[in-house]
Amino acid sequence: MDDGASSKERSFKEQRVREVSFIYYMRGDIKKAIYDFSLKRECVPRYFEGFGKRPDSFQYEGDVLEQVKRGATSFHCSEELWDDVLEINNEMSRDEFNELRCGWDLLLDIDSPYLEYSKIYAEILISVLKFHGIDNVGVKFSGSKGFHVIVPWGAFPEEIYGKKTKDMFPEWPRLICEYLGSIIQPKLADKILHDDSLKEIAKKTGREESELVVRECVSCHRPAVKKNLIHWICPACKNEIDAEEGMYNNRRKSKCPNPECRTELFEASREEMHYCKYCEVNSKRNPEMFEEKERFDTDKLIEADLILVSPRHLFRMPYSLHEKTALSSVVIDKDKIKDFQITDARPLKVKVDEFYVDVRKDEGKELLLQALDWKEQKDRYERIVEDMKKGADKLEGVGNKPKHSGEFKQIIIPEPPEEIFPPQIKLILNGLKHDGRKRALFVLLSFFKSLGAKDEWIEKKVFEWNEKNYHPLKKGYLLGQLNWYRKGPLRLPPNFGNDIYQELGVDEIDELVRQTKNPVSYAVKKWFQLGMGR
């Protein structure tokens, strides 16, 4: 399209939006909805293509229409809540921002080129939030092809682990988004494949079926990457080497590894293979470790990015218009997402509802704690794997790494005996006499799964433990958690230094606790000390 045609298209879109804007924003219920949501937020008008000055905020409900009279077509606001918006400036230090900030909302952005897949993602997200104890969330249409889901600030505790929650922006909301994304991606693939075949998905998205299929590592269930296995020949000493791409061709000239030769290598052939960088195995050496399932890489299909978290980031306000579509960012009933149609967002058809819903005190505490624990486990697991690669003590991790094989072998204990349990786990298994049962369950399930215990054994152990608690958890909750961990990725329990053990009243230390960092490391080391691992 030439510049003239582009200009005409922009003019048409702008004219269409401006024609509807004044009539739309004159509605009393629309002005009130926008103003009520703006309280304590930085609010900035957009004049079709450009934003207004910052910082800015509404002082009165009538300011909405005044901005429209000046040419505003939409309104955008911050996730952060401020004591005095107009005091914000770019020269402030982090401490000054923290002092002025009085809270933040968890704002989750679901944005896909395909509205139907955005709906599926949103429904799964709502169910995952509910699983973590969050029932009260707001949902709105983005105005284009996605949705915004909000968990209001009042759902989160004021302080955790000695840190003020309001000061942990953007780190903690960003972490929650990463945690939720790690849970949702596999569920999203299963749901979409349940509804559509790969052929139908390829047709809808304009892709080849082969682009959507992934080869999966059967150990960690992560998508494998394609690499080349190169056959090198040394013309001098006739040394032949099969090496993964990047091992001998990462220099300008690839040379023979024989220190007495060092002749430039000749590439005889190369063969494509699949490689799991987490388990360090490839399909050439271990073909049984890879399986092609009827699933696909959702990152290639749906760009549903939850991470709409950065300092002073703005998002479209509820009931604001969208410049590209002339549609309203209308609020949707969280239980009727699948029924939503684009026509429901037409400005003259909009019915106003509450986006910023009432929440229970500490409703989001469990989600935040789980996200913090997940991050700690993820970092710890990565450090353990890195240590293994560097030749660290085989007993200090969750398994051992055989020499020369380049492969990581996990220790599997189908029915771990209590003799190898650290004192913290033993005390938890005696039952809790106070609150903290859900967090204790998280520790137990992570510990048992990391040891490779059988699902039937874990279920029996957990139900026995539950009966010893001062007030047993509901059977449905236990079954839900067991199913969650059965299908989910490996999650190590918190390190011994984590505050959770002190909070649960089980922070007991023995000599082996001092020598190890994690309950799994403790159990594996004890397993070998008692001669059970031979």
Q: Are 311 and 104 in contact (CB under 8 A)?
A: no
Tokens for 26? 């004159």
What is the model's pLDDT at position 278?
66
Helix, coil or strand: residue 258: coil
What is the model's pLDDT at position 161?
86
Core vs surface per residue 6-31: b (16+ CB within 10 A) or e:
eeeeeeeeeeebbebbeebbebeebb
Query: CA-to-CA distance for 139 and 408, rounded, in angstroms?
Result: 44
Report CA 486 to chain centroid distance, whole Å: 19
Q: Which CATH architecture has domain 3-194+303-349?
A: Alpha-Beta Complex (3.90)
Strands of the 281-282 sheet, one edge to the other: 240-244, 225-233, 266-276, 281-282
Sign of CA dihedral 246, 251, 252, 256: negative
Q: Are 453 and 414 in contact (CB under 8 A)?
A: yes
Helix 475-487 with 437-450: angle, nearest 10 deg: 30
Query: CA-to-CA distance for 318 and 303, rounded, in angstroms?
Result: 22
Largest Cα–Cα distance of the chain, in whole Å? 86
Helix, coil or strand: residue 7: helix
Report if pTM > 0.75.
no
Query: CA-to-CA distance for 336 and 351, rounded, in angstroms?
Result: 15
> What torsion, rounded to 10 degrees, do the Cα atoms 421, 427, 431, 433 define?
-160
Helix, coil or strand: residue 459: helix
CA-based Rg of the chain, rounded to a whole angstrom?
28
What is the model's pLDDT at position 417?
92
Nearest to 132 by CA among 167, 183, 185, 192: 183
Tokens for 96? 């000054």
Query: CA-to-CA distance for 304 and 263, rounded, in angstroms?
Result: 50
Contacts of 58 (CB under 8 A, 6+ apart): 34, 35, 38, 43, 64
What is the model's pLDDT at position 403?
34
Query: CA-to-CA distance for 280 and 282, rounded, in angstroms?
Result: 7
What is the model's pLDDT at position 401?
36
**pLDDT block averages, 10 residues each, the chain of length 534:** 52 80 94 96 90 91 94 94 92 92 93 85 93 95 92 95 93 90 79 75 70 72 78 84 64 72 83 78 77 60 54 89 93 95 93 95 92 78 55 40 37 87 94 87 90 90 93 83 73 84 88 88 86 65
Q: Are 78 and 97 in contact (CB under 8 A)?
A: no
Backbone angles phi, psi at 392, to 5 degrees: -70, 165
> Which long-range contacts does 348-356 make (Cβ < 8 Å, 24+ apart)?
348/20, 348/23, 348/24, 350/30, 350/319, 352/29, 352/30, 352/32, 352/33, 352/319, 354/138, 355/33, 355/37, 355/138, 355/139, 355/140, 355/150, 355/318, 355/331, 356/36, 356/37, 356/138, 356/150, 356/152
Q: Are 177 and 108 in contact (CB under 8 A)?
A: yes
Query: CA-to-CA distance for 234 and 397, rounded, in angstroms?
Result: 39
pLDDT, tens digit (0-9, with 9 covering 90-100), for 251-270: 556 778 777 788 888 888 88
Nearest to 447 by CA among 507, 520, 514: 520
Backbone angles phi, psi at 80, to 5 degrees: -80, 145
What is the model's pLDDT at position 353?
95
Query: CA-to-CA distance for 402 and 389, rounded, in angstroms?
Result: 11
Contacts of 5 (CB under 8 A, 6+ apart): none
Query: CA-to-CA distance for 72 and 170, rounded, in angstroms?
Result: 29
Beta strands in 404-448 (DSSP E): 409-410
Query: CA-to-CA distance for 285 and 244, rounded, in angstroms?
Result: 11
Contacts of 415 (CB under 8 A, 6+ apart): 453, 454, 457
Length of the chain, please? 534
- Annotated domain spans of the chain: 3-194+303-349, 223-277, 365-529
